[in-house]
């Protein structure tokens, strides 16, 4: 696996992928690679205008569908429009933004990164034939699931703490879905991935000048890697016949920040089944979406 690249993606002809946030960064890189391997790709993006140039670049195998993960009515409308698909890649996300709310009143990072994708996966699950891949981050290590105040209604807001909670929730959701598939003998798979430190627009739109500057320094000194490289773990998880249900994939280099995809470790708290079940139950309550598994 240490030298795995887009050249190793098996032929995807006849398969359909939905990639959220495919208008730039990791999502755009993943969509290009999947289409190049023969797949039909749905670019699920909040801004159709921003996604259209990527779809036009890819060609006939790509189409754009509007999806705002910060608005559950948009998530439901998207799920209603989409037909059968093979793989859902929950790629979109926001990072370290100022305190704000989704349309439904959730803290923006938890609401967009986790609850939006949770609802989307649940609504699309009857139509998914093969895999769900959910992007987390090395920042899951900083996360804590605060059941007493998931949406920062009482505690002091700190953008990186909120981001860590959302990324831990992403990972716990992917692992719990994998366990639920296995428990009922469902042959579909749920996998998680992270890009390491990938140089994408996400890093430079935190609305914090100091953070943006530090991210830029990281890019200059080559701590990170280009988006095309950062997308490899999610592509491996989505397409490799060797990828396994319930595993977490990320770069194999120093600190998991760069390199070719490999099985990645995660903090023990991400494997806490009691917390995962509680998070699942609360997510169903908050979104109104229940899973047929």
Concatenating the DSSP letter of every residue in 203-272 gives: GG-SS-HHHHHHHHHHHHTTSSEEHHHHTHHHHHHHH-TT--TT-EEEE-SGGGSSSSEEE----GGGG-
pLDDT confidence of residue 224:
75
pLDDT confidence of residue 220:
44
| 289 inside domain | no
Question: Which are the catalytic amino acids?
Answer: 163
Taking the alpha carbons of 96, 189, 46, 101 in that order, is the dihedral positive or negative? negative
- Residue 70 to residue 278: CA distance in whole angstroms: 22
Statement: residue 292 has pLDDT above 90: no
Q: Give the domain CATH number at 115.
A: 3.40.50.720
| 219 inside domain | no
Averaged pLDDT for residues 177-188: 98
Averaged pLDDT for residues 189-198: 96
CA 30, 11, 5, 87: dihedral to nearest 10 degrees? 40
pLDDT confidence of residue 223:
62
Statement: residue 214 has pLDDT above 50: no
Q: Which long-range contacts (CB under 8 A, 24 or more apart) does 141-145 make?
A: 141/266, 141/267, 143/167, 143/168, 143/169, 143/269, 144/168, 144/269, 145/169, 145/172, 145/275, 145/278, 145/279
| 224 inside domain | no
Record the pTM: 0.92
pLDDT confidence of residue 212:
47
| 161 inside domain | yes
| 207 inside domain | no
Statement: residue 42 has pLDDT above 60: yes
Tell me: the pLDDT tens digits for 44-103? Answer: 999 999 999 999 999 999 999 999 999 999 999 999 999 999 999 999 999 999 999 999
Statement: residue 293 has pLDDT above 90: no
Statement: residue 222 has pLDDT above 70: no
Tell me the pLDDT band of 204, cut-offs 50, 70 and 90.
very low
| 217 inside domain | no
| 134 inside domain | yes
Statement: residue 203 has pLDDT above 90: no
Closest by CA to 199, choosing from 168, 231, 237, 167, is 231
Give the domain extent around 44. Answer: 7-197+229-283
Q: How many domains does the chain have?
A: 1
| 19 inside domain | yes
Mean pLDDT of the chain: 93
Among 19-33, 48-62, 209-223, which stretch is predicted with the lowest mean pLDDT? 209-223
Tell me: the pLDDT tens digits for 109-159? Answer: 999 999 999 999 999 999 999 999 999 999 999 999 999 999 999 999 999
pLDDT confidence of residue 257:
93
């Amino acid at each position: 696996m240490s030298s795995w690249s887009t050249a190793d993606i098996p032929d995807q002809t006849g398969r359909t992928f939905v990639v959220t946030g495919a208008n730039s960064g990791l999502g755009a890189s993943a969509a290009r690679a999947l289409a190049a391997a023969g797949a039909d790709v749905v670019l699920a993006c909040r801004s159709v205008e921003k996604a259209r140039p990527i779809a036009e670049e890819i060609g006939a195998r790509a189409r754009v569908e509007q999806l705002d993960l910060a608005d559950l009515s948009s998530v439901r409308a998207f799920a209603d429009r989409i037909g059968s698909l093979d793989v859902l890649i929950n790629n979109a996300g926001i990072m370290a933004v100022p305190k704000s709310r989704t349309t439904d009143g959730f803290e923006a990072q938890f609401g967009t990164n986790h609850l939006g994708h949770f609802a989307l996966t649940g609504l699309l699950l009857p139509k998914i034939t093969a895999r769900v891949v959910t992007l987390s981050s090395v920042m899951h290590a900083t996360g804590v699931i605060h059941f007493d105040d998931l949406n920062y209604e009482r505690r002091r807001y700190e953008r990186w703490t909120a981001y860590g909670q959302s990324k831990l929730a992403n990972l716990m959701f992917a692992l719990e879905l994998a366990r639920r598939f296995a428990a009922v003998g469902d042959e579909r798979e749920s996998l998680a991935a992270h890009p390491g430190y990938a140089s994408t627009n996400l890093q430079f739109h935190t609305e914090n000048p100091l953070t943006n500057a530090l991210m830029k320094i990281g890019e200059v000194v080559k701590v990170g890697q280009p988006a095309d490289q950062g997308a490899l773990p999610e592509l491996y998880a989505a397409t490799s016949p060797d990828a396994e249900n319930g595993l977490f994939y990320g770069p194999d280099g120093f600190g998991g920040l760069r390199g070719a995809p490999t099985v990645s470790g995660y903090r023990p708290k991400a494997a806490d089944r009691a917390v995962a079940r509680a998070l699942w139950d609360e997510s169903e309550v908050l979104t109104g979406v229940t899973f047929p598994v």
